[in-house]
Amino acid sequence: MLPLVLVLLVAQSALSAPSVSVNQVAYNQAEGPRDNGNLINSYVTDAVFGLLDGAEQNIYMLTNQQIVNDMANSGDPTTQALALGQAINLVGEAVGSTGDACAYANLANAYASGNAAAVSQALSGYVNRLNANINAVARLAVDPTAAGSIVGSSGGCAGGGRSYQFEQVWDSVLANANAYTIGLLNEQYCMARRLYASYNPQNNNVAAALSASAIPEVRQILSSVAAPLANLMRVVASGGNPAQAAASAQQALAQAAARA
């Protein structure tokens, strides 16, 4: 039986070195987040992360998953909606051959330029990418072995979209974050920066997805479609077939993007 190893550090005194005890807990005895009854909480985001094999994720991706779970529990509707979009993107960008990050990079650069018209135009590419990742989540939910054959679309931009105005985007995002979001977004910036600088293209894609999702215009879109996104993730959490819920979420996203 697959064990989880819990390492407990206990300081004996202020001057002494901590002692270490190791306990093994059976994997199927380790409880995930509980459903608190709210439409959005860490129960639904963690269920989507459960579609991934944790052994395939590095520490920065795993830390980002916990940050997203904390966002889902924040109680702030805008932050919770961001958690839904980021959970879907984290899973979609972490599996299979994910193409490139052009849609995210184009939006990030448009936002950093301060050109509102360019941001509006680039939002459609972001939504298309999010819809592709919704397809990936729906496919993984019914066929966990599908990860190796999920292929993202290629935008064909220079550098595969992995070079963009990263610091400028996050400077603005953090400067305009509210009291509910600032701490978690700052943690996420630190993790995304590591992934952005990585040599691994999937890490780069995840960083680009996190950066683009944090942009205020994206958070507004995600807020307007929070209910269908949450419903999709609840179907995944229940073990059902999310095809219909995925289609409903994608339709809502297309309508929201058209209004943006």
pLDDT of residue 208: 92
pLDDT at 218 over 60: yes
Distance CA 212, CA 231 (A): 23
Q: Which residue has the higher pLDDT, 14 or 230?
A: 230
pLDDT of residue 178: 86
105, amino acid identity: A
Q: Is residue 29 part of a domain?
A: no
Q: Is residue 152 part of a domain?
A: no
Q: Is residue 37 part of a domain?
A: no
Q: Which residue has the higher pLDDT, 63 or 30?
A: 63
Band (14; pLDDT cuts 50, 70, 90): very low
Q: Is residue 4 part of a domain?
A: no
Q: Is residue 65 part of a domain?
A: yes
Q: Is residue 13 part of a domain?
A: no
Least Cα distance to 60 among 32, 94, 18 occurs for 94
pLDDT of residue 259: 85
Containing domain of residue 121, as a range?
Answer: 42-147+159-258
Contacts of 26 (CB under 8 A, 6+ apart): 1, 2, 3, 4
pLDDT, tens digit (0-9, with 9 covering 90-100), for 133-181: 999 999 999 988 776 666 666 667 767 788 899 999 999 999 988 888 8
pLDDT at 10 over 60: no
Distance CA 78, CA 116 (A): 21
pLDDT at 16 over 90: no
Burial pattern 45-73, b for ≥16 Cβ within 10 A else e, equals bbbbbbbbeeeebbebbebbbbbbbbbbb
Q: What's the whole-model pTM score?
A: 0.83
Lowest-confidence region among 20-34, 130-144, 172-186: 20-34
Q: Is residue 207 part of a domain?
A: yes
pLDDT at 22 over 90: no
- What percentage of the chain exceeds 70 in pLDDT? 82
CA R_g for the chain: 19
Structural domains of the chain, count = 1
Q: Which residues on neighbouring strands pair with residue 4, listed in sequence order?
A: 25
Q: Is residue 15 part of a domain?
A: no
